[in-house]
Amino acid sequence: MRVLVVEDENKVAGFIQRGLQEEGFSVDLAYDGDAGVDLAKSQMYDLILMDVMLPVKDGLTAIKELREQNISTPVLCLTARDAVEDKVVGLNAGADDYLAKPFAFAELVARCRALVRRNRSDRGAEIVFSDLRLDPVAHKVWRQDSEIDLTSKEYALLEYFMRNPNQTLTRAMIAENVWDYTFDSFTNIIDVYVNYLRNKVDRPYDKKLIHTVRGQGYMLKEV
């Protein structure tokens, strides 16, 4: 697996590079946002680790630029800022996951493998539920033949719902399967993203598909 690490602190970048190489990854380094974007455009990577606070061009701007260029390589944000609001900003910019510094290296490796594994398996036949349609190959979603514009994380959340319809999905299940988080402090962001999804998928239509299961979680179902 080939990884691009974009990190301006030399010691941190070297530590991550050596550790990932010991785990069997091939690792390239960039020390500012511009250099990271240039490498990501010119080379094929399985994963990008992107620090948020970078010189020349910050990490979030770099991620947005990559997504605007239709570069869909999974991005794991690394940052010292771990408030829910900061996570939402990073995920909305196009990041696929978020890891706060300082972190346990074993967790970093697990996140890397999970993102690569999910990206490689993200193929298959079109999924249909009610008047909602999702194309796992093109990463597009329609309702009543109208295309819905979703961020990468909103798409991942909706896909999880559509692959598990008529089942109660707890916040813990969603955290583990969509974000690879297993701790309760992350669940607030799940509620935020379910609300985002409802605004796009349900609010314009009479039939509501995403329902709250009080005290448990959420369910995709027809009423």
CATH number of residue 22's parent domain? 3.40.50.2300
Domain co-membership, 12 together with 99? yes
Q: Which of 99, 121, 143 is the last residue of a domain?
A: 121
Question: Integer distance in angstroms from the first to the last C-alpha of the chain?
Answer: 44
Task: Say what the pLDDT of residue 76 is.
Answer: 95
**Exposure string over 189-214, b if 16+ CB within 10 A, otherwise e:** bbeebbebbbebbbeeeeeebbeeee
Domain co-membership, 26 together with 51? yes
Domain co-membership, 109 together with 9? yes
In terms of Cβ atoms closer than 10 Å to its own Cβ (0-12, 13-18, 19+), residue 125 is exposed
The torsion angles phi and psi of 167, rounded to 5 degrees, stand at: -125, 140
Which residues are CB-contacts of 93 (< 8 A; sequence separation ≥ 6)? 60, 61, 63, 64, 67
Can you give the pTM of this predicted structure? 0.62
How many domains does the chain contain in total? 2
Domain co-membership, 110 together with 160? no
Domain co-membership, 114 together with 25? yes
Domain co-membership, 134 together with 104? no
Least confident of 63-77, 103-117, 153-167, 168-182: 168-182
Residue 203 has pLDDT above 90, yes or no: yes
Domain co-membership, 109 together with 196? no
Q: Which of 92, 121, 150 is the last residue of a domain?
A: 121
- Counting residues of the chain whose pLDDT is more than 90, the rounded percentage is 57
Query: Which carries the bigger pLDDT value, residue 202 or residue 120?
Result: 202
**Residue range(s) defining the domain that contains residue 191:** 127-220
CATH of the domain at 154: 1.10.10.10
Confidence class for position 120, pLDDT limits 50, 70, 90: low
Classify residue 180 as left (phi > 0), alpha (psi -120 to 50) or beta.
left
Q: Give the C-alpha separation, 12 to 79, whole Å.
A: 12
Average pLDDT of the chain is 89
pLDDT in tens, 13-49: 999 999 999 988 889 999 999 999 999 998 888 899 9
Domain co-membership, 114 together with 150? no
> Is residue 98 within 8 Å of 77, Cβ to Cβ?
yes
CA angle 172, 175, 181 (to 5 degrees): 105
- Counting residues of the chain whose pLDDT is more than 70, the rounded percentage is 93
Domain co-membership, 30 together with 82? yes
